[in-house]
Amino acid sequence: MLTVLAPAKLNLTLEVSGKRPDGYHEIRSVFQTVNLYDNLRFQPSQKVTFQSDMPDWAPQMSLVSRAVSLLQETLDSTKGATIEVSKCIPLVSGLGGDSSDAAAVLRGLNELWRLGLSQEELLTLATRLGSDVAFFLHGGTALVTGRGEVVTPLPPLPQRWVVLVVPTIPRLPGKTGQLYASLNVSHFTDGQITERAVTEVKENRVPTELFNAFENTAFTYFSELKIYRDHIKKLGADNVHLAGSGPALFSLLKDKDQAEALHTRCRQQKMVTYLTETMSGHHLTGYT
């Protein structure tokens, strides 16, 4: 059985500079993977079937089924596989779980089916699936530009602990698209925050200014989000940021003991909380 781990990601910066002619938005962002993983297992089969331990996860609504179909159509293949998806990354949380799973499917089936596709060929397919999928073929720390498909790997971020809190609020259909649509000219920035962050990462430093354009509008769409953020700060976090398009929130900490203490206090308050850490871009794939 082939196993591929699909990590979650954070946006250390996420700047939007405007709307593109193709309808997407132009972004400049520093992406960072953390060691919260979905686990995908692949076995040969006569046809493609999906299994999952999360009742709410539906393959037909996920990029994983589109990734399989794209490979089959591109290569005119009728090969099958049983794909078991063990979900740990919360659904529709802003942590990139679905995009990461899609990238894991591209990598996993490329190996299982012995397709021999190069990294460049996989990246081409990834950009056809979704804006963030290409990043997860790299992982680690990266500058992400364009609509999210242009990925420039960066040196590993100095190791940091991450406390993630996922507010238990109703899911918003089409959340990311609605948040993009809610941005106006006053929310657009010229990319300088991200450029400074890139410089700091290249100097083996953690960016001093974390930024997310969606924080301008997410707290309106998710009325309880500000309550969560303020409460996490009262529990001892000196920084709380929106993860992607949310609603997940995260705090970045250097000290493990402080991270563990904050994680414990958040859990004691009945919040859905994860203690993770930043990770490099090494792909975790293997046979069992």
Q: What is the pLDDT of residue 286?
A: 61
| Known catalytic membership, residue 132 | yes
256 is an active site residue = no
What value does the mean pLDDT of the chain take?
Answer: 93
Separation of alpha carbons 134 and 81, rounded Å = 23
Q: Compute the average pLDDT of residues 122-151.
A: 94
Query: Which residue has tokens 């490979």?
Result: 71
Sign of CA dihedral 172, 131, 82, 77: positive
Measured between its terminal Cα atoms, the distance across the chain in Å is: 5
Answer yes or no: pTM beyond 0.85: yes
Q: What is the pLDDT of residue 120?
A: 94
What local confidence, expressed as pLDDT, does residue 257 receive?
97
Which residue among 38, 87, 132, 175 is the active-site one?
A: 132
Which residue of the set 9, 79, 87, 175 is catalytic? 9
Give the span between the Cα atoms of 116 and 77, in whole angstroms. Answer: 14
The pLDDT assigned to 22 comes to: 84
For residue 42, pLDDT beyond 80: yes
Q: Given this model, what pLDDT does residue 171 score? A: 75
pLDDT at 72 over 60: yes
Extract the tokens encoding 171.
């899911």
Q: Quick one: 194 exposed, middle or buried, by C-beta within 10 A (0-12, 13-18, 19+)?
A: buried
d(CA 64, CA 109): 11
How many CA atoms, within 13 angstroms, populate the side-chain half-sphere of residue 34?
Answer: 24
Could you give the domains of the chain? 1-288 (3.30.230.10)
